[in-house]
Amino acid sequence: MLDGSRSDTLQKALAVTRISTILDSVVEVNIGEGIMCRDFRWVHKIPYLLSPTLFTLVKAIPAMRQLHTIRLSRIFLARAHLCCILSSPYLTHLVLDAVQMPNMSKLRLSPPKLRKLTTVAMYSWEAIEPLLIELAASLEYYELQECHFRAPGQLQLPPFPRLRKLRYDQDYGRFIDTTVLSALLRASQVTHLQLSGGVDDLRCIATSQKSLQHLSIDVVMLTEQILGTDPFPWLRSLSLINCHRSWKLKQHFTVPSFVRDYFPGITLLHLSIPWSLRGPALVIARSQDNVQTLELSVVTWIGLDLDDIKLRSYEGEIPTDFSRNSTFPAALQSLKLHVVQTSYDLRYSVMACTRWIREDILPPVPGLGGSDLKYIDVSFVQPKSVLERERVISKRWAKSPNDDWQMEECL
């Protein structure tokens, strides 16, 4: 990584470009300083050391045969630098993080090969649009993060024949630019769409109905005012994120029918939830007509056992007779649970989860999982810290032909 905070930045760049063994082993280049605070006043304060560093480094980029990703953060990117970067025959992913670019409306490049583009904290659509136009023929993945711009009302983009994955994430409380979103969807055949942030109207995604197969949205977007009245019959998987923000007891009974009416063809449902909502999550999955796989993602700081005590006091529980209803239409076959715990002893979470599975999912009388359940896969991850390396624990329950359950554990 090269930033403007150290006096040896230029020397590091020269070393990379002059030593062939280093040049041939570079897989990722990071230039500039990542921004923790997205304050507009600080976005374009450029470290003065980066001008000679960029000039030295970008000339060598086309020769880096193992290079796949370049991340530029909080710098001024000149036209010549951008053209040199995009001329690399090996580069696949470019990340622009709060980068200031000049007017590139007349940008002309050789046939680009870049397949992935990520723009973070960009404030000017006029700077991004020419780049998108140049990359339209090769781009397969485009991601926007915390981009606070407004595009003109009538926006026309060229076709993106290869664009299949589109992700648009905004800060909580900031709104997605639906003009940009609509233009990108009209110009492509997106199969994977992920959206988070504020939004008033998402009826524009109906233009991608026949190509769209995987949709990820914030749970607060599950309203007729936002999604409109037309269902999405071609969708195969649905992911609902940020369920902890507004999912209260009353929604335990409205979400299942809404998902069933709007997304009748989904076979996979993914929910990001607090641990206390695992019961309602199973009810939602089994209330669908075709869902066969349920994936649950849980992030905890203190552990599942303590989360249960802390959260259940205000989340509430669903009635037992409703949660164990044997008339649920979905024949749920697979349950997958992924837990990330940032602190405290991971073993207590493993024990809490195992107890839940044995007592509520797999009792002698069919439990929350239903009688068609065949597999349960659980993984626990504790990210590495200053003192400890990453720890991963995995468990699997599988139903045998005689309906007995076998448990396997992998430390």
116-147 pLDDT per residue, tens: 999 999 988 988 998 999 999 999 999 999 99
**Dist CA 78 CA 135 (whole Å):** 17
- Predicted local confidence at residue 402, as pLDDT: 87
Which of 17-26, 161-170, 234-243 is least confident? 17-26
- Predicted local confidence at residue 283, as pLDDT: 86
**Dist CA 379 CA 337 (whole Å):** 6
Contacts with 110 (C-beta within 8 Å, 6 or more apart), sequence order: 87
- Which of 2-16, 39-53, 273-287 ranks highest by mean pLDDT? 273-287
Which of 8-12, 27-31, 321-325 is least confident? 321-325
**304-315 and 346-356 helices cross at what angle (nearest 10)?**
60
pLDDT over 90, % of the chain: 43
Residue 167 tokens, joined: 């992700």
Classify each residue of 324-335 as buried b or exposed e, where b means 16 or more C-beta atoms within 10 Å of its C-beta. Answer: beeebebebbbb
Which of 161-170, 264-273, 354-363 is least confident? 354-363
From residue 177, how far is each of 130, 170, 171, 189, 274 by CA, in Å?
18, 10, 12, 19, 29
SS3 of the chain: helix, strand, coil, percent, to 5: 30, 25, 45
Q: For the chain, give me the number of helices (H) and strands (E)?
A: 14, 15
Amino acid letter for position 181 = L
pLDDT at 44 over 60: no
- Predicted local confidence at residue 173, as pLDDT: 75
pLDDT at 257 over 70: yes
Residue 186 tokens, joined: 């009209």
From residue 144, how far is each of 45, 85, 199, 296, 300 by CA, in Å?
22, 20, 15, 25, 27
**Dist CA 18 CA 219 (whole Å):** 52
- Predicted local confidence at residue 240, as pLDDT: 95
**What CATH class does 1-206 carry?**
alpha beta
Which of 19-33, 37-51, 317-331, 378-392 is least confident? 37-51
Classify each residue of 153-173 as buried b or exposed e, where b means 16 or more C-beta atoms within 10 Å of its C-beta. Answer: eebebeebeebbbbbbbbeee
What average pLDDT is seen over the chain? 82
Summarised one tens digit per residue, pLDDT across range 62-75 is 888 899 999 998 88
**Dist CA 376 CA 357 (whole Å):** 9
Torsion angle of C-alpha atoms 70, 190, 269, 375, degrees rounded to 10? -70
Cβ-based burial of 248 (10 A; exposed 0-12, middle 13-18, buried ≥19): exposed
Q: Nearest CA to 194 among 133, 128, 142?
A: 142
Q: Are 217 and 197 in contact (CB under 8 A)?
A: no
The enclosing H or E element of 338 equals strand 334-341
Q: Are 64 and 88 in contact (CB under 8 A)?
A: yes
Residue 145 tokens, joined: 């993060």
Residue 120 tokens, joined: 């973070």
Instruction: Indicate the pLDDT class of residue 58, thresholds 50, 70 and 90.
Output: confident
Instruction: Indicate the pLDDT class of residue 7, thresholds 50, 70 and 90.
Output: low
pLDDT over 70, % of the chain: 78
Residue 16 tokens, joined: 């990379």
**Dist CA 200 CA 170 (whole Å):** 13
pLDDT at 269 over 80: yes
Which of 79-83, 223-227, 285-289, 331-335 is least confident? 79-83
Q: Where are the domains of the chain?
A: 1-206, 213-217+239-244+274-411
More confident residue, 76 or 300: 300
Summarised one tens digit per residue, pLDDT across range 189-205 is 999 999 999 898 999 89
- Predicted local confidence at residue 276, as pLDDT: 85
Cβ-based burial of 244 (10 A; exposed 0-12, middle 13-18, buried ≥19): middle
Q: Nearest CA to 120 among 140, 139, 94, 141?
A: 94
Residue 320 tokens, joined: 């037992």
- Predicted local confidence at residue 327, as pLDDT: 58
More confident residue, 198 or 108: 198
